Amino acid sequence: MANSSSGDSVLGRALRVFDAFELDKPALTASEIARRACLPVATAYRLTCELAELGLLERAVDGRFRVGVRLWEIAARAQVARGLREAAMPVLEDLHAAVKEHVQLGVLEGREVLFIERLSARNAVINVTQIGGRLPVHASSAGLVLLAHASAELQTEVLAGPLRRYTPDTPVQPRNVRRIIAGIKQQGYVVCPGYIHADAMGIAVPVRDACGEVVAAIGAVVPVRGTQPMNVVPALLTASRGISRALGATADPQPRGAVDPQPRGRREPTAAV
């Protein structure tokens, strides 16, 4: 595959074009794509036009580009995500009906958690996650569950930082993140009050496959005020076992009992990160 003078392959540059789009920036001009993808404007324009001809991007009447339906169609064939979603949906629907709050399913993607399904609740607390959206693993309940069961190499890479602070309660000190993920391994769940938004609390548990490996995290986003986490955790653990069984898991490896690994109000020092 031909490389540019900078050493990038055509495929690599095309991937950078796709990465330029975000959920809050679904439509971009060629100049915006060039800036976000760190490409010359002429290169970005040529690539976007070629991708539009293939249906991977769409060009609006105002000249801006957006991700095309054909790319969504290809992505929907991803077997891991598709299998997880199909196994999880009936359980997620039951969980959603039980807790009457946002529920979601996430998988590990690099140093982020990628949310492949979410069911929302009307008039519920704010939830910044969206289907297809990502969050850093250190700042979200689902991400911390996945980080706790990730390789030591990835944990070291994540903790090397920088770790983004969303609120005063976001864990950004490596020692605190290590303590949280150690607690997850011991107790089988995590409670994250105010990590992303001051009013929202994330609670998550792992989902395992037939080999007993953690392949996803299922979570709920509930109000900080008025919510007793231990009223939600049992429903999440039951849902986790249901999805895990649907994926072929036979054992129940969930540890029992423990406390919130970082209760609200026990804030980290505001040291620079």
Determine phi and psi for 37, rounding to 5 degrees: -90, 0
| pLDDT for position 126 | 81
Residue pLDDT, tens place only, 200-251: 999 999 999 888 999 999 999 999 998 898 999 999 999 999 999 998 887 6
What six digits make up the tokens of 246? Answer: 């649907």
Longest dimension (CA), the chain: 58
Query: Which amino acid type is present at position 11?
Result: L
Structural domains present in the chain: 10-74 (1.10.10.10), 79-246 (3.30.450.40)
Look at residue 19 and tell me whether its pLDDT is greater than 70: yes
Q: 78 pLDDT exceeds 80? A: no
Residues, the chain: 273
Alpha helices in 20-104 (DSSP H): 30-37, 41-53, 69-75, 79-99
| Contact predicate 205/92, CB 8 Å | no
Is the pLDDT at 40 greater than 70, yes or no?
Answer: yes
pLDDT at res. 5: 52
What DSSP character marks residue 261? S
What are the tokens at 139?
């700042």
**Is it the case that residue 271 has pLDDT exceeding 70?**
no
Which residues 6+ apart lie within 8 Å of 66 measured at CB?
21, 26, 27, 28, 57, 58, 60
- Burial (CB count <10 Å: 0-12, 13-18, 19+), residue 72: exposed
Tokens representing residue 129 in the block:
């996650």
* Mean pLDDT value across residues 112-125: 87
Mean pLDDT of 46-58: 91
Q: pLDDT tens digits for 158-194?
A: 999 899 999 999 999 999 999 999 999 999 999 999 9
140: nearest Cα among 104, 116, 175, 174: 104
Q: Residue 30: CB partners within 8 Å, gap ≥ 6? A: 41, 44, 45, 48, 63, 65
User: Does the pLDDT value for residue 131 go beyond 90?
Assistant: no
